[in-house]
């Protein structure tokens, strides 16, 4: 697919060499940064919160690139190319984030909706969003860094609704995304039926990796039963805990960027370590 990428800004981030580029893809904003000759690619949802405090939800970011550099130095490899894809919530579309990040197919196929919404399933655009990332954004930015993207070197990361979308994205496009990094997946929008669809929808274990984690405060305090169910279902499906599967609980951390910032390096190392 031809790219309509337009670089709209470049800016510096403290503790990060070089500059972060901000691009528009037909109105979809993506921030990205990478070193020379990256060997891996990380695609992150909620791109507002990845690099820039000014665009972040709570004036705090994941420090994703800084953490990735630290992990890469530890492992003796180059840091990954990182893309932060913005959601489309706006004053004119206040539900834009949920429309982007609500996995569509589970709910079309009987998963229970456990929360009230002000929009219908016909307005959910997660499949369009995922296709835009996979077929246009990812190849366009990868080509700038002269790196070929495929499952062997590419991971998808998200938290909360983005954590659900990471699971959905890897399940839908296992040819492109070899690792799912799902932080605090927001299971409580549904029940076990959503867990069943997303975990069963992942590719067969063997060539992929799966990370799931949660804290114990805020929204995360409500995830325990459903996350345990997800963990058990993953292992039942053949994911090997401690090998290609990791599930973690981080006590006294909550549902916010400052918390994910504290332990995102663990997920990155799980992905990058052979």
Q: Are 258 and 217 in contact (CB under 8 A)?
A: no
Per-residue pLDDT of the chain (274 residues; tens, 9 = 90+): 456 899 999 999 998 999 999 999 999 999 999 999 999 999 999 999 999 989 988 778 999 999 999 999 999 999 999 999 999 999 999 999 999 999 999 999 999 999 889 899 999 999 999 999 999 999 999 999 999 999 999 999 999 999 999 999 999 999 999 999 999 999 999 999 999 999 999 999 999 999 999 999 999 999 999 999 999 999 999 999 999 999 999 999 999 999 999 999 999 999 999 7
| pLDDT value at residue 158 | 98
| pLDDT value at residue 121 | 94
Q: Are 184 and 160 in contact (CB under 8 A)?
A: yes
Q: Are 57 and 74 in contact (CB under 8 A)?
A: no
Which residues, including other chains, have CB under 8 Å from residue 243's CB and lie 6 or more apart? none
47 vs 54: CA distance, rounded Å: 12
Q: Where are the domains of the chain?
A: 5-272
C-beta neighbour count of 8 within 10 angstroms:
10
| pLDDT value at residue 1 | 43
| pLDDT value at residue 61 | 94
Comparing C-alpha atoms, which of 109, 69, 76 is closest to residue 197? 109
**Strand pairing partners for 123?**
none
152 vs 150: CA distance, rounded Å: 6
- CATH for 5-272, among 3.10.180.10, 3.30.1950.10, 3.40.50.1820, 3.40.50.1000? 3.40.50.1820
Spatial strand order in the sheet of 179-183: 5-11, 20-25, 28-33, 81-85, 41-44, 154-159, 179-183, 209-215, 245-250
| pLDDT value at residue 143 | 97
Q: Are 177 and 170 in contact (CB under 8 A)?
A: yes
Q: Quick check: pTM over 0.95?
A: yes
Looking at the chain, list the stretches that DSSP marks H as alpha helix, in order from N- to C-terminal side. 64-75, 96-101, 104-108, 126-132, 138-144, 161-172, 192-200, 224-236, 257-272
| pLDDT value at residue 17 | 95
**Strand pairing partners for 85?**
30
The SS3 call for residue 121 is helix
Q: Are 272 and 77 in contact (CB under 8 A)?
A: yes
Q: Are 87 and 94 in contact (CB under 8 A)?
A: no
137 vs 268: CA distance, rounded Å: 21
| pLDDT value at residue 58 | 77
The SS3 call for residue 210 is strand
Instruction: Name the one residue in this structure whose structure tokens are 């992942």.
Output: 202
């Amino acid at each position: 697919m031809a790219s309509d990428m337009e670089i709209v800004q470049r800016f510096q981030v403290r503790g990060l060499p070089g500059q972060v580029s901000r691009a528009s893809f037909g109105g979809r904003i993506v921030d990205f940064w990478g070193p020379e000759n990256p060997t891996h690619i990380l695609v992150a949802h909620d791109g507002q919160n990845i690099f820039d405090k000014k665009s972040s939800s709570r004036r705090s970011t994941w420090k994703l690139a800084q953490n990735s550099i630290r992990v890469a130095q530890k492992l003796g490899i180059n840091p990954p190319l990182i893309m932060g894809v913005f959601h489309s919530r706006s004053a004119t579309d206040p539900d834009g984030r949920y429309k982007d990040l609500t996995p569509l197919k589970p709910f079309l196929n009987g998963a229970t909706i456990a929360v009230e919404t002000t929009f219908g399933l016909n307005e959910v655009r997660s499949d369009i969003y995922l296709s835009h990332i996979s077929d246009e954004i990812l190849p366009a930015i990868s080509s700038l860094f002269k790196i070929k993207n495929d499952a062997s070197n590419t991971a998808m990361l998200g938290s909360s609704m983005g954590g659900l979308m990471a699971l959905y994205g890897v399940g839908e496009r296992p040819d492109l995304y070899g690792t799912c990094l799902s932080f605090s997946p927001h299971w409580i929008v549904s029940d076990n039926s959503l867990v069943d669809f997303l975990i069963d929808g992942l590719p067969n274990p063997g060539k992929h990796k799966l990370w799931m984690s949660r804290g114990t405060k805020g929204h995360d305090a409500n995830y325990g039963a459903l996350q345990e169910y997800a963990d058990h279902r993953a292992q039942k499906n053949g994911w090997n805990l401690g090998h290609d599967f990791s599930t973690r609980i981080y006590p006294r951390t909550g549902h916010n960027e400052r918390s994910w910032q504290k332990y995102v390096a663990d997920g990155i190392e799980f992905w990058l370590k052979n």
